[in-house]
Amino acid sequence: MFGATGFIGSAIAECLERKNVDWIGISRFEHKHPKIVNINLEQKSKLAEVLTDYPTVINAMGSFKPSDFEQNTKAVFQCFWDNTQLFSQILTESPVKKLIHISSGGAVYGDTNGLPANEKSWLKPISWYGKAKVIEESMLEKAALQSGIQYTCVRVSNPFGNLSFSHHGFIDVLINTHNNGGVFNTFNNPLYSRDFIHCDDMARALVTILMQSQSEQLSVYNLGFGKSHKLWDIVEHVKELVPSFEYQLERLPTEYDVVQSVIDTNKLAQLGIDTNKFKTVEQYLMERL
């Protein structure tokens, strides 16, 4: 698994370990986990050795945050492009048989105007981050087709709940800010909404997708809760739970913000994944506050 030490990758690693699935993680960063090796994309010979023994690959690499693309678009996009080209080349030159690529369900569909986007919906990213994700999906799909690799793209929406990454995402930043005595700053727009999924549910669903025997060479799955929460409603709910919670509505909308985001997750039912059993935002807030 590429990106094994990141927000999504580390959650998947824990799930694979719990299920006793044989795995190895690849990270650009030093790590003490016995199953995670420190290799960067330029070390092709080392990667080739790993991929020879592990022909199923999960790509959970996430080099940049959405804001990086807006703040330094040219340099960040060039680095992203180089990495995607290199990763595609590594795949085509390796004995990989199956690739699970994790993309962003919130970014690639753009603003859904409150209507759930399904896997066949037109991709209309607003931000450069979202556009980069669409390009990445397309390039890896092409590499898979050329090399006979079974390719599955999983579009994940707004994961939360990885306690090792309390600085990541709306929900955990809110909790972490309050627990540290700070004032939470959020968007000054009542329409902003997101489809959230707890990282444990996300990881279990991804492992289920990984273990499925699929006949199609190319497949796409949305992975989220399937319902959208208004951010203002979450803030007000927290205020009811914890009267001492302080917040301010000072973050002004930008031209690259997705306002309303929600994805259709009905396709997951074909794999026996019941999103009704996923942990809700409300349950998580009750646990952590």
Tokens, residue 123: 């991709």
pTM equals 0.94
At 4-14, the pLDDT tens digits run 999 999 999 99
What distance in Å separates the CA atoms of residue 197 and residue 275, rounded to the nearest whole number? 9
Residue 112 located in a structural domain: yes
Q: Which tokens go with 270?
A: 């074909």
Which of 55, 34, 58, 25 shows the shortest CA–CA distance to 207? 58
Within a domain: 81: yes
Q: Is the pLDDT score of 253 beyond 80?
A: no
13-46 residue pLDDT tens: 999 999 999 999 999 888 888 999 999 889 988 8
Whether residue 156 is contained in a domain is answered as: yes
Do the domain assignments include residue 108?
Answer: yes
Tell me, what's the pLDDT at 126? 93
Within-domain flag for 255: no
pLDDT surpassing 90 at residue 219:
yes
Distances 259 to 197, 222, 228, 275 between C-alpha atoms, Å = 18, 19, 11, 23
Q: Over the stretch 64-88, which tens digit does the pLDDT of each residue have?
A: 777 788 888 899 999 999 999 999 9
Rounded distance between C-alpha atoms, residue 22 and residue 11, angstroms:
15
| 39 contacts 46 by C-beta, under 8 angstroms | yes
The strand pairing partners of 184, in sequence order, are 247
The total number of structural domains in the chain stands at 1
Flag whether 181 is in a domain: no
Domain CATH for 202: 3.40.50.720
Q: Which domain holds residue 61?
A: 7-161+196-226+263-278
Q: Got the DSSP string for 161-194?
A: --TT-TTSHHHHHHHHHHHTT--EEEES-TT-EE
Q: pLDDT value at position 163?
A: 87
Task: Quote the CA–CA distance of 72 and 196 in Å, as a whole number.
Answer: 28
Q: Is 176 among the domain residues? A: no
For residue 28, the model assigns a pLDDT of 85
Q: Look at residue 54 and tell me if it is in a domain.
A: yes
Least confident of 201-210, 229-238, 251-260: 251-260
pLDDT mean over 187-194: 93
Residues in Cβ contact with 70 at an 8 Å cutoff, skipping those fewer than 6 apart: 127, 128, 129, 254, 256
